[in-house]
Amino acid sequence: MAAISREEVAHLAHLARLAVNDAELDTFAGQLDVILQAVARVGEVTAADIPPTSHSVPLTNVLREDVVTPGLTRDEALSGAPDVAEDRFRVPRILDEEA
């Protein structure tokens, strides 16, 4: 059985706002399936005494003091914006979504 279905790939593409056509869906579903199956092999060797790894370095509590550090000027901040209005980033409205 495939590790990921064509429908799941279509759903993920929608969530990531990627325009994927039918031919591409077939291609990606196949490719992703191979990748997932390869990764799944790791599961075959896990043991109960090995916790899942989410971070590659064995560190905890990397924290900073609450001290202001210089950031960007407004012009610098807006320099990479596709469009600017009223000192703000101007973006197209997002259809039918409200956070």
Binding residues (CB under 8 A) for other proteins: these are 11, 15-17, 54-57, 59-74, 77-78, 80, 85-94, 97-99
CB of 13 to other proteins, least distance (A): 12
Q: What is the dihedral of CA 38, 41, 46, 52, to 10 degrees?
A: 20
Distance CA 90, CA 98 (A): 17
Minimum distance from residue 24 beta carbon to other proteins (Å)? 20
Cβ 37 to other proteins shortest distance, Å: 20
CB nearer to other proteins: pick between 23 and 80: 80
Cβ neighbourhood burial of 9 (10 Å; 0-12, 13-18, 19+): buried
